[in-house]
Amino acid sequence: MTEHLTALLSLAWLLWIALVAVGLILERRSPAATLAWLLALLFMPYFGFLVYLLFGPRRLRRRRLRYGRARDRLIQSTHRLRQDRAALTGFSDARLERQLALLLERLGQGAPMPAIRVTPLETGDACFQAIEAAIEAATHHVHLEYYMWRPDRVGTRLRDLLIEKARAGVEVRLLLDAIGSDRTSNRFLRPLRDAGGMTAWFNPIGLHRLRLRYVNFRTHRKIVVCDGRTGFTGGINVSDTHSASWGGVDAWRDTHLRIEGEPVHRLQFIFLEDWYFATDHAPFAPEFFPDDPQAADGAWSQVVESGPDNNRHAIAKFYFAAIAGARRRIALATPYFVPNEALTAALATAALRGVEVRVLAPKRSDSRLVTAAARSYYDELAGAGVHIYEYGPAMLHAKLLVVDECIAAVGSANFDNRSLTLNFEVMAVFYDTGLATRLADSFATDLRFASRYVRPGRRATFGQRLGEATARLLSPLL
């Protein structure tokens, strides 16, 4: 009897594994990712299956009908988010700027819009000061969306400022990721709600609601919108780790942007979509997309969103097209450098055809696994002529791409599979020589605090080489 029961359970387990394998194959991921998951399930059947439940499923059922209704109502509520091809007339057909702008427009990201003013913020303290000043000046609403908000000194100070604005009658909406901001409790946010502010959690996790399979699908976006006129986005979270006032020389190095003008409407649009998803309701009034009387003759910009709710992967496609189209120079800064095959080939090919390619990554990121996986790519790229620099000892957290010093992109997306396919991200792309040159100069300054990786100058032990090679096997899952 026991033998029959064991055989029956074994058969049931094999059938279950087969069904999961079929589901994996039907998801049509990259072959490498599919094989990685199949091997994990085969050689680690119990642990692998648990990991698959937590991190495996790719398709987030985002209640698409409701999300679509929100998008339709938002579009109807504002004529400012129009699809206007006239913006492309300033670019020559042969120029990379026009090609990239057209690519993003066809991926549903809208046409380029002129900003009134764009200000790079290259330290956490400068960023927090600028955000606090914009919040203090707000008279109608303040919208904030963050992956990480810590209840530390920076987080508490910003929360208390929001409480003051809510008490003054300003509409305050704060959307936080349920995993990235796991240290921020409802108790910490209660004073803001008591003052009239609104808070929500993006994609909360709960065993009782069978949401463990949504561990992957996080909002990694950093968005602040004040009165629909001033916006912020980039890589800086709300945390003491970004502040030199509290972290000293160990403060994370990052890049953020303060934006005024029409591109802010796109940030508003993205925020309201996410707010609607999290709460089932969102404001649709035109006053959230106000006309600005100032002349918008600044940098042309497209604000790009991507996420697992669709398979367009606009940010990944932009990275590939921008790198593949570069003619002179590429500067790429990222805290997590785990490129897929296409992006690896794009970087190597650009270097081989004579483009100066410089990649800046942290010497030690906050994830040993990601650091090991990143280093497994260095020899291949360095052999093709890519110049790789390791920043440190402070953590580099900036996400920056500058191409030919005429195109620049800053946002929340890392150069890895998680950001490009599994998380909800946002990035601001600018077609402006002045801004691109300024960000390129900032990148050059960062190189002074980095050491160049020269192949085969690094003498790694067998254990290090084995660890890096093993981490690379997991790169499709990172």
Catalogue the active-site residues.
220, 222, 227, 397, 399, 404
Placement of tokens 């996790």 in the chain? 205
- Alpha-carbon span 418 to 336, nearest angstrom: 10
Query: Does residue 456 have a cis bond before it (omega within 30 degrees)?
Result: yes
What does R_g of the chain's alpha carbons equal in angstroms?
23
Beta strand 407-411 with 387-391 is unpaired
Structural contact between residues 307 and 267, judged by C-beta atoms closer than 8 angstroms:
no
Structural contact between residues 74 and 269, judged by C-beta atoms closer than 8 angstroms:
yes
- Alpha-carbon span 176 to 148, nearest angstrom: 7
Beta-strand ranges (E) seen in 236-393 are 256-261, 300-306, 329-333, 337-338, 356-362, 387-391
- Alpha-carbon span 174 to 192, nearest angstrom: 9
Q: How far is CA 194 from the centre of its chain?
A: 31
Instruction: Give 425's contacts (C-beta < 8 A, 6+ positions apart).
Output: 220, 221, 305, 306, 307, 315, 411, 412, 413, 419
Closest CA to 342 of 319, 367, 311, 309: 319
